[in-house]
Chain A
């Protein structure tokens, strides 16, 4: 009060800056969001990424082709086999080799199991972030079983280094087939129970419907692919649009959403779990006889007993392991349907022993830039749900 007059001050709208991450339990990975908040409402957001950047593209320029597979493991580490096999198929495209049906079917089994593992994690984590921990603990047991199948096929669990350029390192074992069969018989009951827990749960629906929506038009403009694009209503799936690995032999549907919100993303992934299960079952029943490796002696290691007894095999074994194999010159773009969307490999070879240039088209990196647009105007707890429903995997984000 001055001079007996009440002075009316202008109170500017004040904002709080909130650092969500880099290490925040709700972000499920190392990346940061700087949020501009008005109370509970998000006014704007900016992402900072690159915390686990490991320069894979640079490293790949210095590695023989077969040694790049373990790098791809570490992109989307929730579904490593898809990345591995996508990379193998890229090199096969460059070499111009045709895989046998047996290889294709085995690959489909492995890739669809990986998709199941990835979607189980993503969907159960949406549950966790909305306050339902039970489903998460429940389905993680199933992911464990998938890892046991990987272990039976490749010897590793998380970063699988699955298969080789030109097929698999050995034929699939009876034990692995038995484990897969047990798994596909077991999963439907678990999935049904998981769906009962969340799908029509009033609290879950209230928390997710209309949260973090994106229109089909914006999603395409932002380069969305995979379940996130399909939740917005665009029926794009690399397995159907650009069939690879004999996917055209199988009958499966592409689930679609309409709103592009968190609930639709959840439902699309949930439906894809059933489709993947159907694919695994169909491929398992129809595995054709044949070779598990193509005839590409410059890239496939010779059988061990030959290496010990034949000079020629020993020479090839040595040359391959030491990375002394030249690849033909060429330029290839190959895409597979990763668990998060179109995982592309752009490979330029100048005829040397390592790629001249290798670029990974990582779906996470591309669609995560839409995040501020999706959470703007919403509240903080919804932003967390939006993030987990987009399935942002730090390894794939940063490469």
Chain B
């Protein structure tokens, strides 16, 4: 299956909602706006020429430095034509609402619960959107980048030593008192 056979019909139906089409490591990646994600996935699944009827994976991602920081990444698979594609959608932290695809794929149920658990993305229309791997009384979403893995005051485990800045903020030492300024 040629990439144009996928992007062509998609552009035809969702032209104004397709934000980006790119090719990364032999996989076509399409970014769409969040309100249409359910329609796009249904189109990819049900359109006779496309038939992406297997949802391989669904997971969240957090880019704190972007305008739309929270993302959901779908991996779809057309097993007959041996074609995989990736569909992405991004939302804001204040209003992280994405339509659920549980009515299209039963398997999306736990995947969306996991994404909700770790990133706090609300899937509208999900039948039972509760935490799955973490405890129920947890009041944050631990895979978001603002939550440090360990004690943020530990200098030896700072993110800056892993070639990256910003996650843990800047360390300030004032009169022997350690504080982190974000």
- A interface vs B, CB < 8 Å? 49-50, 53, 55, 57-59, 61-62, 64, 93-94, 218, 220-223, 234, 236, 241-242, 323-324, 326, 330-333, 335, 342, 344, 346, 348, 350, 352-354, 357, 359, 361, 365-366, 369-370, 398-399
Taking a contact as CB atoms under 8 Å apart, the answer to whether A333 and B86 are in contact is yes
Please name 16 pairs of A and B residues whose Cβ atoms are closer than 8 Å in the assembled complex, sorted by A.
Answer: A50-B133, A53-B134, A58-B142, A58-B143, A62-B149, A93-B25, A218-B106, A326-B163, A333-B57, A344-B57, A352-B163, A353-B164, A354-B163, A366-B107, A369-B107, A370-B106
18 extra interface residue pairs, beta carbon distance < 8 Å, beyond A64-B162, A236-B79: A50-B134, A57-B143, A58-B143, A58-B149, A220-B54, A223-B106, A223-B107, A330-B25, A331-B24, A332-B25, A333-B25, A344-B57, A346-B75, A352-B164, A353-B163, A357-B61, A361-B56, A366-B110
Chain A residues with CB under 8 Å of B133's CB are 49-50, 53, 398-399
Cross-interface CB contact of A354 among B57, B107, B135, B162, cutoff 8 Å = B162
Taking a contact as CB atoms under 8 Å apart, the answer to whether A222 and B163 are in contact is no
Which residues of B from 105 to 159 have beta carbons under 8 Å from A? Answer: 105-107, 109-111, 114, 118, 132-135, 142-143, 149, 157, 159
Measured CA separation A352–B161 after assembly (Å)? 10
Measured CA separation A234–B149 after assembly (Å)? 41
Measured CA separation A324–B160 after assembly (Å)? 11
Taking a contact as CB atoms under 8 Å apart, the answer to whether B162 and A353 are in contact is yes
Number of interchain pairs (Cβ within 8 Å): 99
Give the interface size bracket for B toward A: 35 or more
Taking a contact as CB atoms under 8 Å apart, the answer to whether B164 and A223 are in contact is no
Chain B residues with CB under 8 Å of A326's CB are 163
CB B51 to nearest CB in A, in angstroms, measures: 12
Taking a contact as CB atoms under 8 Å apart, the answer to whether A223 and B82 are in contact is no
- B interface vs A, CB < 8 Å? 24-25, 27, 29, 53-57, 59, 61-62, 73, 75, 79, 82, 84, 86, 105-107, 109-111, 114, 118, 132-135, 142-143, 149, 157, 159, 162-164
Closest residue of B by beta carbon distance from A332: B25
CB A126 to nearest CB in B, in angstroms, measures: 24
Chain B residues with CB under 8 Å of A59's CB are 149
Chain B residues with CB under 8 Å of A333's CB are 25, 27, 57, 75, 84, 86
Cross-interface CB contact of B59 among A53, A55, A331, A359, cutoff 8 Å = A359
CB B166 to nearest CB in A, in angstroms, measures: 11
Chain A residues with CB under 8 Å of B149's CB are 58-59, 61-62
Chain A residues with CB under 8 Å of B106's CB are 218, 221-223, 369-370
Taking a contact as CB atoms under 8 Å apart, the answer to whether B159 and A331 are in contact is no
Taking a contact as CB atoms under 8 Å apart, the answer to whether B105 and A62 are in contact is no
Closest residue of A by beta carbon distance from B164: A352
Taking a contact as CB atoms under 8 Å apart, the answer to whether A331 and B142 are in contact is no
Cross-interface CB contact of B162 among A242, A323, A361, A365, cutoff 8 Å = A323
Taking a contact as CB atoms under 8 Å apart, the answer to whether A62 and B75 are in contact is no
Taking a contact as CB atoms under 8 Å apart, the answer to whether A223 and B25 are in contact is no
Taking a contact as CB atoms under 8 Å apart, the answer to whether A57 and B118 are in contact is yes
Measured CA separation A27–B55 after assembly (Å)? 28
Chain A residues with CB under 8 Å of B105's CB are 221, 223
Measured CA separation A331–B111 after assembly (Å)? 20
Measured CA separation A324–B57 after assembly (Å)? 31
CB A117 to nearest CB in B, in angstroms, measures: 26
Cross-interface CB contact of A346 among B73, B82, B135, cutoff 8 Å = B73
Measured CA separation A397–B120 after assembly (Å)? 20
Chain B residues with CB under 8 Å of A223's CB are 54-56, 105-107
Chain A residues with CB under 8 Å of B107's CB are 221-223, 366, 369
Chain A residues with CB under 8 Å of B79's CB are 234, 236, 241
Closest residue of A by beta carbon distance from B157: A62
Chain A residues with CB under 8 Å of B61's CB are 348, 357
